[in-house]
Structure 1
Amino acid sequence: MDTLKSASISVEVDDASLLELARVAEAEGISQDDAIRHAIRFYLNHGKGYRAMLKDGTEAWNHYKRTGLHVTDDEIGDWIAELDAGNDDAEPPACHT
């Protein structure tokens, strides 16, 4: 089988995205083509993790809507502070309604 070294593709992009692409590419000092190549490579390398995180977040949101169970930002923050302080036995906060 022949190895594909490069190929051209056509993608429809809205005007706002094209303007943002031009702005970002210029700020980074790279061509728009390079910016698109970087974005594709990033998606291929990290997209699976992003999609898994999105799926987990959606499932958590649906669980919350069904049950009302949650922990607050302050409760999580206090728990993380305990872990950061070296208390490896700190218990995570309990879910509540």
Structure 2
Amino acid sequence: MTRPTSIKLDDDLKGRIQHLADARQRSAHWLMREAIEQYVEREERQEAFRQETLNAWEDYQATGLHATAEEMEKWLASWGKDDEVSAPRCHK
């Protein structure tokens, strides 16, 4: 179910949105909804990444398990080559 929501925009921004909507042959409503949806999706991905990072840090603090940057770089550099190496194992 969709429900209307109001938003206050200054005249300049409202005019810019309308100009872009006209150029794209879309309504200002469509343009604003699309912009908000893209913003929310991007921010949700960023928040999920932040949470994964915090969880990984907590796991590392609890276990001490890790792979070094050198080990990771060696693995990544081998991708797609005949002598591709396996992912490094975590260690203390």
Name 2:8's counterpart in structure 1.
8
Counterpart selection for 1:63 from 39, 59, 74: 59
Count of aligned pairs: 70
Q: Flag the 1:46–1:2 CA change in 2: closer, same or farther, 3 A.
A: closer
Q: Is 1:76 equivalent to 2:72 in the alignment?
A: yes
1:46 Cα shift?
A: 0.5
Using the alignment, how far apart are the partners of 1:2 and 1:62 within structure 2? 40
User: Identity, % of aligned pairs?
Assistant: 26
**Superposition map of 1:11-26 within 5 A:** none
Q: Return 5+ residue gaps in structure 2 as ranges.
A: 17-31
Using the alignment, how far apart are the partners of 2:61 and 2:55 within structure 1? 10
Where do 4+ consecutive residues of structure 1 move more than 3 Å?
1-4, 31-34, 40-43
Name 1:86's counterpart in structure 2.
81
Q: Secondary structure at the match of 1:58?
A: helix
> Partner letter of residue 74 of structure 1?
E
Higher radius of gyration, 1 or 2:
2
1:90 Cα shift?
A: 2.6
Asked if 1 retains the 8 angstrom alpha-carbon contact of 2:75 and 2:87, the reply is: yes
> Partner letter of residue 54 of structure 1?
R
> Could you tell me the TM-score, scaled by structure 2's length?
0.58
Using the alignment, how far apart are the partners of 2:52 and 2:84 within structure 1? 26
